[in-house]
Amino acid sequence: MSERFVYLNGSYMPISKASVSVLDRGFLFGDGVYEVIPVFGSKLLRVDGHLQRLATSLERISLDNPFSEAEWKQKFDQLLDCNPGDDRAIYLQITRGVYPIRDLKIQPGIEPTVFMMTLNVEPVDLDVLEKGIETVTIEDFRWSACDIKSTSLVANVMLRQQATQYGVVDAVLIKQGMVTEGTASNIFIVKNDTLITPPTSKHLLPGITRDLVLELANDNEISTEVREIAATELRDADEVWLTSSTREIAPVVRLNDKVVGSGKAGPLWHKMINIYQEYKQQLRQG
């Protein structure tokens, strides 16, 4: 397999040649933000939504956006041209750059570090996805700035590790008795044929897949509610889903010691995954 080409600070280069200073604030403090944008064929899924969220994340951490939307898109095209493939994702991150002194204070005039690479994404296998995932609920101890797609992910790493120690693939996070999201995904529950997800807030990431699922549900006359979900509602939910750019829509079949619904991917999931695959197919065909 040929070597991946990445983008770093204005140049495209083989990944083995890309390096960043140990004084980069991304390395020292996790002082940066990132995005993951799925690509189907050569088409980017919801690129405007990802660029809008990137702009918001940058603004929240007081870092200027280095490029206009048109410049970002041109760079994405160039990166994809350097890395031929079918289904992929673009990972990009911007850190506050290198400063000679290790100091939390933001110094003016530092050049940000801009990095991009493609990620290999296994095409979603519906037979595997349909089997569902097992999860546990864990107390969400993260900060009140989870709406920022920050590279400071140690809390998410710890939570995922706790889930692994329970022998399951992910956790459903609970803050003060209310459901927030997964460790790298948003959550939906289904109750009486209505799809329910918590509202955006400082306690969860405004997922692009979440928005798309809500939009597709509304377009297809599936009833939706955006409202807080009490942790106690999980026990009686007919279905529970986790959504993200890479996982798409994963049905949760077990939560703690209890099966969810019938213990299999539910009927609304089947309906929605077909709508979602159709949407992707249309995107791929332009």
| Nearer of residues 179 and 205 to ligand PLP, judged by Cβ | 205
| CB proximity list for 108: less than 8 A, separation 6 or greater | none
Two tokens, residue 69: 């939307």
Kindly tell me which of 36 and 98 has the beta carbon lying closer to ligand PLP. 36
Considering the complex, state which of residue 31 and residue 248 has its C-beta at the smaller distance from ligand PLP.
248
Q: Which of 95, 118, 186, 197 is the binder for ligand PLP (CB under 6 A)?
A: 186
Q: Tell me the window of 89-97, 114-122, 201-209, 259-267 that interacts with ligand PLP (CB under 6 A).
A: 201-209
Number of chain positions touching ligand PLP (CB under 6 A) = 13
Whether residue 264 contacts residue 253, with contact meaning beta carbons closer than 8 Å, is answered with yes
Q: How far is the CB of 65 from ligand PLP (least distance, A)?
A: 18
Phi and psi, residue 186, nearest 5° = -95, 165
Cα–Cα distance measured from residue 116 to residue 10, given in angstroms and rounded to the nearest whole number: 10
Q: How far is CA 229 from CA 55, 141, 214, 233, 276, in A?
A: 28, 17, 16, 7, 24
Which residue, 117 or 205, is less far from ligand PLP as judged by CB?
205
Length of the chain: 286
Cβ closer to ligand PLP: 97 or 207? Answer: 207
185, 197, 241, 273: residue in contact with ligand PLP (rule CB under 6 A): 185
Site string for ligand PLP, 79-118 (x = CB under 6 A): ----------------------------------------
How far apart are alpha carbons 286 and 133 in whole angstroms? 32
Q: Which is nearer to ligand PLP, 98 or 138 (CB)?
A: 138
Looking at this protein, which amino acid is placed at residue 264?
Answer: K
Give the integer Cα–Cα distance in Å for 209 and 262: 25
Picking from 200, 173, 183, the residue whose alpha carbon sits closest to that of residue 255 is 173
Binding status of residue 209 toward ligand PLP by CB under 6 A: yes
Confirm whether 149 is a catalytic residue.
Answer: yes
- Per DSSP, which regions of 16-132 are E strands? 32-40, 43-44, 88-95, 113-120
**Contacts with ligand PLP in 15-44 (CB under 6 A)?**
36
Q: Which of residues 227-286 bind ligand PLP (CB under 6 A)?
A: 243-245
**With CB under 6 A as the contact rule, which of the stretches 22-30, 189-197, 208-216, 274-282 interacts with ligand PLP?**
208-216
Which one of 32, 112, 207, 261 is in contact with ligand PLP (CB under 6 A)? 207
Phi/psi-derived region of residue 197, left when phi > 0, alpha when psi is between -120 and 50, beta in every other case: beta
Neighbours of 95 (CB within 10 A): 25
Out of 116, 133, 148, 184, the only residue in the binding site for ligand PLP (CB under 6 A) is 184
Active-site entry in 149, 175, 258, 264: 149
Supply the residues annotated as catalytic. 149
Residues of this chain that bind ligand PLP (CB under 6 A): 36, 181, 184-186, 205, 207-210, 243-245
